[in-house]
Structure 1
Amino acid sequence: MKLPSIVETYFEAEKRGDADALARAFAADAVVKDEGAVHTGPDQIRAWWLAAKEKYHHVAEPLDVTEQGGKVTVRAKVSGQFPNSPAILQFVFGLRGDTIVDLEIH
């Protein structure tokens, strides 16, 4: 499976638990939508990710990737401390150059 470089950076940072590297993968105006909330900019995205990590102690393992309509969709097996773990979630990335401009998780 060949992930775009910046998407690989996201999942590698997630795997290492590196909130700073994860936040640096996002553009200054990036938006993340997850669990009905919207987080804008690297600082809010970093805070969102740290709060989710503390709450769920999750890890995400990419399974496959598709690109369509300018979006990169990664199906990932997410395991952690939440009901019905593990779950298969979709991470839908919007990219601009070598940064993530939007991410929606469902």
Structure 2
Amino acid sequence: MNKNGQKEMTLTGQFYDLDDGESITSAVLRNDGSEIAFDLSHSDGCNYTVSLKRLQGSLFKGTAISQPGGDVAELSCRVYQDTSEGVTLIVGSGWRYPGSAHNYRWQVELQAD
């Protein structure tokens, strides 16, 4: 407890410096926000089509398909929405390609027009 008698919680985590953002186009939210799809133009020279579906609560799973190449990554993330501000924040915990042990963390911020 702290000096005011309030219970304190000790947390750990990681900080990610995201620097410059990548361009996202054609973002769509469907079925009351249970499905999210968007196109991403990445600095690696590829374009990605991302499709996400709610699994449970804020947990979403989906895929990212690269062009050119057609490689399919399996995605997992948490989606948080602030409807009063028109902001959707996607915090990606998984971006994995089949046969690869590497996992990429990712983040997306979508804003209503």
TM-score band by shorter chain is: 0.3 to 0.5
TM-score, normalised by the number of residues in structure 2:
0.37
State the structure with more CA Rg.
2
Select the structure that is richer in strand.
2
